[in-house]
Amino acid sequence: MASTNLDINENGQIKPCDKKYQEWIANYLKKHPNPLGECQYACKEMLKAFPELKIIRGHVETVFWGRRGHWWLETLNGAIVDPTRRQFPGPIEYKQWTPDELVRTGKCMNCGEEIWRKVASLDQEYHDYFCSKECEKETTDEMNKPNSYPITPNLDSEDCEIM
């Protein structure tokens, strides 16, 4: 089931999760003060400490960065426990992945765009390097360009006897 959750309460504050989870997260953040890109790792670590939680994969809608692929945890009642919440400034909206949705599969090596596509299952690892055929072609063309340092012709050619 897809869940959508805005993580701010009616007073505009970030909804706090259970105290024991908050403490674990505070401790984690002491060791990892900048958790950018660590959502998967942090969720797996937190799951070891609290096996009652469930890992949720999906994305968040952020105020400043738009849509970002993200992992977080949920309690049995569906309350969000997000160890790397700190990486996103401003309120965010959580959207759990469903099989017919786009999933972030990488970042384009050519233009830097995030790559999203439909995948059959989340149990597989996906990694895309290019957002489009055009970007892939631009990069391979670039790599296949002839050496840009001209090979210096042998200037002592007069030493060579012409047979």
Residues at the site binding Zn ion, with contacts judged by CB under 5 A: 108, 110-111, 113, 131, 135
- The nearest distance, CB 135 to Zn ion, in angstroms, is 3
**Given the structure tokens 């984690």, which residue do they identify?**
28
- CB closer to Zn ion, 111 vs 122: 111
Cβ burial 55-72 (10 Å sphere, 16+ → b, else e): ebbbbbbbeeeeebbbbb
Asked whether 38 and 32 are in contact (CB, 8 A), the reply is yes
DSSP string covering 90-120, please? S-EEEEE--TTSEEEEEE-TTT--EEEEE-S
Asked whether 66 and 102 are in contact (CB, 8 A), the reply is no
- CB closer to Zn ion, 25 vs 135: 135
- The nearest distance, CB 112 to Zn ion, in angstroms, is 7
Q: State both tokens at 92.
A: 């965010």
- CB closer to Zn ion, 54 vs 67: 67
- CB closer to Zn ion, 60 vs 131: 131
- The nearest distance, CB 137 to Zn ion, in angstroms, is 11
- The nearest distance, CB 142 to Zn ion, in angstroms, is 13
Of 102, 114, 20, 13, residue with least CA distance to 57: 102
Position 156, amino acid: D
- The nearest distance, CB 138 to Zn ion, in angstroms, is 8
- CB closer to Zn ion, 95 vs 104: 104
